[in-house]
Structures are given as C-alpha cells and as structure tokens.
C-alpha cells in the first residue's frame, strides 16, 4: 500500500512537470528553446488553408544533350526529387506537389513567402560533376559544355548523410561532402596523382569552384566560394537529394491567400470549444468524480498535443485539426469503457480498490486493440501520402498518430494515477461519487438493507467458526460473511461474500 502511494505521488509530480513544460511551449510569446545546436522558436506552422503561401508551376524540358528524351517517363522521378527538396530543403510540411499535365509539376508551399529561394532550389537541376581540366584553372561562373572536359566524379557518388552546409573558421559559407564506397579510395588516388593540378567542381555545367590540389584528400572535401549561407543550404539540399533527371523551368508563380477566411477560422474554433465543453459537462454530470478526473486528463491532452506539434514543427491545417478532434473523442471513449467496467465491478461486490484495478485491467484489451488499429491505419495513410504525393493525407496521418498516442497516455495512465491518489487519501470510496446508488451495491457498509439483514442473522444464530470468512487485508469489512442460520444453512449474503473473497484471492 505504502509503495503504491509513493509511486503514485512521484508519477503525479512527473505529470505536473510535463504539464508545466507543455504550458511553457504552448504560450505564444515564449523565447523558444535554444540548447547547443538545437534551436526551435516554437512557432506554429500553418497550412495553406489557414495562412496561405506560394504556388509555383515548373515545366520539364529535355536536357541539351538529349533533345529527344521521353519527358512523361522521366517526370515521376523529377516529381519525387522535388518532393524531397521541398520537405528537406525548404522544411515545409503539408506542401502540395503533384503532376499537372504531361510535362508540368504544381508546387504549393504553405506559409512560405520567399519565392526567390524556392525558385533557386526547385528550378535548378543540381547536377554536380568534378571535371578534369588537365591542370587548367577555370574562372568561377564559367559555363562548360557537355563532353568538353572528362568527368572524374559525379554527385551520385557522394554520401548523402555527409553533405552539410556550415561556416568555416573565417565564417565563410561552405558545403562539406564525403564520397562513399569505391569512390572514396578513387578520390584519394585522384588527388594524390594530380597534386598541383586543379579540382574543378561544376553545378549544372557552371563552375562554382576551381581550387588547386595541395595534397591527397582522403575521400572528403568541401566546396567554398559560396555567396551566402542560404545559397550553401540550397546547394547542400540539391546534392543531398540528388539531381533532377530533367531541367525544370519556372513558368508561373503567385501568392495564395488562405482558403479559409478569418471568420470561418473563428467559427471553427468556437465550434470546437463548444463541442469540447459539452463533452466535459457530460462526463462530469454522468460519471461525477471519474468524469472530473477524465476532464482534467483531457485538458492535459490538449496541452500536450499542441506542445508536441510546436516542438516537431508539424504544419497545422484543417486536416490536422480534424485529426486532433478525432483523437479527443477516442480519449473520452477509452475513459467511458474504463468507468463502466468499474461500475460493474462495484455492483458485483468488489471493494473500491479492487474495482478500480479490475476496471482498468479488463477494459485495457479493448482500448489497446482499437488504438492499435487506428495507429496502423494512420501509418498506412502516411505511407500512401508520402509515396504518392498526397501531402494533405500525410498531415492528417501525422496528427492522428500523435494524438492517439497522447490520448492513450492521458486517458489510461494519467486518469488511473488520479483515481489511485484519491483512493489512498480516503475521500473517493463512497459509491455516490461514481454515480451509483447505495442500494445498488452488495456491500453492507453502503447498503442499509444488507446491513439490517446481517444484524438479524447475527441475533437469530451465533456465528459458526467454520462459516466465518476473513475480511480483506486492506481493512475493508464490507465483504465479511455473517454466521449460519438456525437450520445450519448460510444466508445468501454470507455465501456471496465468501465466494467473492475466494475469487479475489
């Protein structure tokens, strides 16, 4: 008993600390989290329907060295590369990237206003080559033609995980890279054999660096001479996610207004608050004390999920809000299953501690299976949306999975801890707190009829030693059996109490 109380108190402290951290993250004017290399301004990223953004239409053309290429067959690969650049380079979630016609790609970027950065990242092919200029330096910005110089290495031979944009010791932007596989040793051999020569790097046939080789380079290198850290990040993204199989040209761009007006957003928020208030009121009236605890857990859930969304940088759209509302309903549904099971155990004559414990244990399989099936469905939706360009589905699935996990934590773990603490304090044992009348319980302590019958039975005949059942170890005298009648038969209440005591043992 004492060990359970200590654990519950410690867990309550943990929940309070989590709640305080969630409040800090949720507040609108917090300075953010800046620890080491981790920097998060804790800003809410809104989708196209809430904030608007930009729309860009890209048109695919054949490369200059392949004027008769098959554009429709290569466009899916280009579409996949654009999706990776959008999510990885621009860091935009819930973006829309889809094919338009036979040679165009439509890109919608929520919350983004810098069209120049988007054009520079999405429009460039990003084909990196290290060419052998035979000891001749080339000026940065020089355009070379296909086949003019032998290609020693390509961007496809780089290790994507090693490509990073950073600053050197003089605060100049650079891009570091590393070759993978056999290319690593080949690059070391190439630089050893060509010392004094020039290492010339081109992006889309334009020279971005032509530096003299001073010594052997063991598979690692860096690109210098980049204008700004933003350009370095764009270049790193192009190298990391691969070159486009087709050149893409920007044919149109425009700003998009929010598809939902401000009035519609306000009405949506108002409707959500009214619905949440009705759910809270229903749980409080119908389930009383457990309903109050469930409402507190529900408020904690709202704090937690909004904090997680801000910490992970998930874009909040109408689809994501719908997923959050859905998980709120699932959290309430789990509490209803638990509370109804507790009431059944109390009606069967269980003590309050036993009813709480069995109520959670026997409702858990149903809660576990329903939430697991929802998570599996969310994972399938996420996979489908991520592989087929349906980024709106990705946003819904992401919020759904996060919400289910958090609602499961608050509905089961947090609510149970609250009930245990109230039970240990001795103020949560009366059945009226659980919306049960006293005469509905088969416990003499709360049922006057059973208490009167027990006294009469005790007056009619003395208690037989063989018919006495030991009270429960927790000090609950409710299930103590009464003595046998004058004819040697045990009364119904004594027989039921003895069976119940044996079942609990």
User: Would you place residue 17 in the very low, low, confident or very high pLDDT band (cuts 50, 70, 90)?
Assistant: very high
* 2-40+260-425 carries CATH number 3.40.720.10: no
pLDDT over 80 (residue 494): no
Which of 427 and 403 is assigned the larger pLDDT? 403
Closest by CA position to 216, among listed 199, 232, 240: 199
The answer to whether the CB of 58 falls within 8 A of the CB of 251 is: yes
pLDDT tens digits for range 106-157: 888 887 777 776 776 776 777 888 888 877 888 888 888 888 888 888 888 8
Same fold, 53-125+250-256 and 128-243: no
DSSP string for residues in 110-123: ET---HHHHHHHHH
Q: Both tokens of residue 358?
A: 């069995």
Provide the CATH number for the domain formed by 53-125+250-256 in this structure: 3.30.70.3400
47's tokens: 């989708």
What pairs with residue 14 in β-bridges? Answer: none
Whole-number Å distance between alpha carbons of 274 and 358: 34
Distance from CA of residue 49 to its chain's centroid? 21
Residue 380 has pLDDT above 90, yes or no: yes
Q: What percent of the chain has pLDDT over 90?
A: 7
Query: 70-84, 286-300, 435-449: which range is least confident on average?
Result: 435-449
Cα distances (angstroms) measured from residue 331 to each of 228, 250, 326, 420: 48, 47, 9, 19
Alpha-carbon distance of 129 to 124, in angstroms, equals 14
Both tokens of 286, joined, read 């119908």
Kindly report the length of the chain: 505
The residue-averaged pLDDT of 193-200 equals 85
Cα dihedral: 164, 165, 169, 172 (round 10): 160
- β-partners of residue 255 are 54
Which strands make up the sheet holding 151-154, listed edge to edge?
Answer: 151-154, 128-131, 198-203, 206-212
Of 53, 25, 21, nearest to 40 by C-alpha is 25
CATH architecture of 128-243: 2-Layer Sandwich (3.30)
- Residue 458's H or E segment, with its range, is helix 448-460
Phi, psi of 35 (to 5 degrees): -125, 110
What pLDDT sits at residue 110? Answer: 80
Which residue is associated with the tokens 């309550």? Answer: 12
The residue ranges of every structural domain in the chain are 2-40+260-425, 53-125+250-256, 128-243, 441-504
Give the pLDDT of residue 376.
95
Residue-level pLDDT at 309 = 87
């Amino acid at each position: 008993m004492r060990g359970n109380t200590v654990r519950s108190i410690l867990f309550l402290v943990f929940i309070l600390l989590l709640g305080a951290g969630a409040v800090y993250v949720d507040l609108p004017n917090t300075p953010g989290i800046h620890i080491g290399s981790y920097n998060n301004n804790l800003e809410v990223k809104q989708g196209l329907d809430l904030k608007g953004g930009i729309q860009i239409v890209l048109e695919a053309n054949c490369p200059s060295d392949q004027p008769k290429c098959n554009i429709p067959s290569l466009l899916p690969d280009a579409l996949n590369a654009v999706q990776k650049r959008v999510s990885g380079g621009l860091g935009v979630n819930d973006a829309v990237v889809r094919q338009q016609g036979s040679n165009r790609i439509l890109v919608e970027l929520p919350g983004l206003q810098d069209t120049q950065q988007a054009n520079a990242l999405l429009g460039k092919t990003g084909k990196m080559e290290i060419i052998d200029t035979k000891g001749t330096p080339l000026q940065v910005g020089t355009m070379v033609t296909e086949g003019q110089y032998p290609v020693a290495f390509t961007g496809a031979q780089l290790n994507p995980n090693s490509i990073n944009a950073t600053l050197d010791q003089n605060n100049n932007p650079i891009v570091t890279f590393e070759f993978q596989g056999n290319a690593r040793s080949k690059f070391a051999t190439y630089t050893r054999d060509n010392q004094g020569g020039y290492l010339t790097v081109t992006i889309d046939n334009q020279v971005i660096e032509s530096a003299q080789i001073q010594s052997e380079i063991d598979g690692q290198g860096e690109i210098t001479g980049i204008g700004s850290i933003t350009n370095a990040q764009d270049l790193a993204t192009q190298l990391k996610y691969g070159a486009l199989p087709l050149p893409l040209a920007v044919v149109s761009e425009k700003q998009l207004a929010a598809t939902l007006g401000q009035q519609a957003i306000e009405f949506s928020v108002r409707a959500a608050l009214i619905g949440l208030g009705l759910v809270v009121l229903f749980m409080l009236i119908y389930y009383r004390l457990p309903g109050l605890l469930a409402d507190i857990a529900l408020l904690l859930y709202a704090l937690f999920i909004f904090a997680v969304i801000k910490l992970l940088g998930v874009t909040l759209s109408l689809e994501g809000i719908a997923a959050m509302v859905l998980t709120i309903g699932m959290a309430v549904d789990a509490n209803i299953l638990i509370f109804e099971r507790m009431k059944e155990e109390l009606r069967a004559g269980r003590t309050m501690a036993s009813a709480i414990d069995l109520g959670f244990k026997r409702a858990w399989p149903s809660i576990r299976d329903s939430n697991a099936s929802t998570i599996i469905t969310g994972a399938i939706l996420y996979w489908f949306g991520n592989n087929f360009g349906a980024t709106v589905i990705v946003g819904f699935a992401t919020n759904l999975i996060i919400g289910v996990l958090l609602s499961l934590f608050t509905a089961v773990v947090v609510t149970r801890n609250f009930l245990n603490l109230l039970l240990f304090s001795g103020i949560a044992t009366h059945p009226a707190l659980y919306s049960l009348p006293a005469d509905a319980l088969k416990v003499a302590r709360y049922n006057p009829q059973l208490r009167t019958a027990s006294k009469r039975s005790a007056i009619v005949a003395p208690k037989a030693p063989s018919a006495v059942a030991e009270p429960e170890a927790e000090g609950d005298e409710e299930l103590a059996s009464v003595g046998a009648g004058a004819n040697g038969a045990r009364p119904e209440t004594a027989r039921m109490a003895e069976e119940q005591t044996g079942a609990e043992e």
